Structure 1
Amino acid sequence: MAKALMDLHDVELAALAAAGGRREFGELVRRHGSAVRALLRRMGAQGAEADDVAQDAFLQAFEKCAEFRGEGTFAAWVKRIAARLYLKRKAKDARYVAELGTEEIAPMIDTPGRVDLDEALKALNETERLCVSLCHGAGLSHPEIATAMNLPLGTVKSHVKRGLDKLRARLSPDAAQSGRAAHVV
C-alpha cells in the first residue's frame, strides 16, 4: 500500500484525501512538510512555532482539500495557507507584545565565498523578510501579499524590491570588486 501511495501524483492524493483518505493526506504531509516548515522559518518563525503553524496549515488543508483543484502545485497551495496563518499569528501577537530592540546580526559568511541565506534573511527588517518570503517562498503575488498584510500594493512592492536589493548585497559582498558572486548554502 505504501508503494502505491508513493506512485500517486499530488492531485490524485488530494482528491483521495478530500474523500476522507487519511493515509493519502499523510503522504502529502510527508512530501511537503519540511518545505512548509522551511518557509515559515525563513519568514521568521522559530523552530517550535514553525512546527505549530505548519501543523495548523496541514489541518486546514485537510479540511479544505476538496478546494484544491490542481491548478498549481499542492506544495504552493499549502505554503500559502501556512503563510497566511503565520501572518495572522504575527498580527495577533503584535497586539500583546511590545516591540523589542534589534539584535546584532551574526556574521553571515562562514567560509570564504559561502553565505547562509537564512542568516541573510535575518538581516532584513521584519516587513521586508515577510514580503520577500511570501513572494519568493510561498509564491504569493504582490496583491495577495498586500491583502494578507493589510498594506498598500506599492508598499509591498517597495518592501520586496528593497529586501531583494539587500539580499543581493549581503549574498555577494565582493561581487562588484572581484566579479564573482558568493555561493549560497
Structure 2
Amino acid sequence: MKGAQTSRLTSLHDVELAALSAAGDRAAFGELVRRHGSSVRGLLRRMGAPASEADDVAQDAFLAAFERIGEFRGQGTFVGWVRKIAARQYLRRLQRDKRIASLAAEAQDLVEEPRAADGAGRIDLDEALRALAPAERICVSMCYGAGLSHAEAADALNLPLGTVKSHVKRGLDRLRARLAPPSGQSEGRRENG
C-alpha cells in the first residue's frame, strides 16, 4: 500500500503536493522535500554555507515551509518559494552570528586570480562564486539563486537598495570576467551572439 501511495505522489505536480500538504498529508510534503532538498542545499552552499550548515538551514527552511504551506498559492514555483525562505533564514543566521562584518574583512583573502576552465571546457560556477567577495556572493546568490528582487534582497539583508545593486553588479562583472573563455578562443561566437 505504501509503495502505491509513493508512486501516486511522484506523479503529482508540486502545486498538487502543496495542496495535499496543506490538508495535512505529511507524505506529500515529504515528496516535496525529496524533490527539492538538494536544490535548496545547493543554493545555501553557493551563498557560502558550509555543507553541514547548509543541511541545517535547509531542514529549518523546509520545517518553516511546512508550517506555512497554506501561504503557498502556486503563483511561482514551490522550489523558488522554499529557496527564498532558506536564503532569508541563512541571512538571519549570518546576522545573528555577526559574521557579515568578518566576512567582508576576509574578502581580500578569498579573491583569487581567474583560472581557465578545465580541458573539457567546463566552467565551475561554485568555484567562481567562492572567488567573489562575501557580500557580492551573498547578493548575487540571493538575486539569481533564490530569485529575490534587488529590493527583497535589500530588505532581507537590511542594506540600502543601492548597495545591493552595486554588490550584484560588481559580482556579475567579476563572474563574467572569470567565466569568460580565454581570449581568442571563441571570438566568432561573441561577434555572432
TM-score (norm 2): 0.86
Distance 1:2 1:129 in 2: 38
Aligned to 2:143: 135
Corresponding residue number in structure 2 for 1:73: 77
5 Å-filtered alignment, 1:32-181, equals 32-94=36-98, 101=106, 102-103=109-110, 105=112, 108-109=115-116, 111-112=118-119, 113-175=121-183, 178-179=186-187
CA deviation digits over 1:135-180, x for unaligned, max 9? 1100000100010001111111111111000000000152467527
Contact map agreement 1:16 1:24 (CA 8 A) in 2: yes
Letter of the 1:166 partner, please give it: R
Structure 2 distance, partners of 1:98, 1:136, is 24
| % identical aligned pairs | 64
Q: Aligned residue pairs: how many?
A: 181
Residues 171 and 139 from structure 1, CA distance in 2 versus in 1: closer, same or farther, beyond 3 angstroms?
same
Kindly provide the CA deviation profile for residues 91-121 of structure 1, in whole angstroms up to 9, marking residues without a partner as x: 0111699556424748754523332110100
Amino acid at match of 2:187: G
Tell me how far apart the structure 2 counterparts of residues 157 and 72 of structure 1 sit (CA, whole Å).
23
Cα RMSD between the aligned structures? 2.2
The answer on whether the counterparts of 2:41 and 2:54 sit within 8 Å (CA) in structure 1 is yes
Q: What secondary structure, in the 3-state scheme, does the structure 2 residue paired with 1:115 have? A: coil
**Separation (CA, whole Å) in 1 of partners of 2:130 and 2:150:** 21
More off after superposition, 98-107 vs 80-89: 98-107
| Separation in structure 2 between the aligned mates of residue 106 and residue 81 of structure 1, nearest angstrom | 33
* Structure 2 spans left out of the alignment, 5+ residues: none
Supply the distance in 1 between the matched residues of 2:89 and 2:82 (Cα, whole angstroms): 11
Using the alignment, how far apart are the partners of 1:91 and 1:22 within structure 2?
A: 32
Following TM superposition, the consecutive aligned residue runs of length 4 or more in structure 1 with deviations greater than 2 angstroms are 95-110, 112-115, 175-178
Query: Structure 1 residues 13, 52: closer, same or farther in 2, change over 3 A?
Result: same
Q: What's the TM-score, normalizing by structure 1? A: 0.89
Correspondent of 1:2 among 3, 6, 9? 6
User: What letter matches 1:73 in structure 2?
Assistant: T
Counterpart amino acid of residue 146 in structure 2: A
1:134 Cα offset (Å): 0.5
The secondary structure found in structure 2 opposite 1:94 is coil
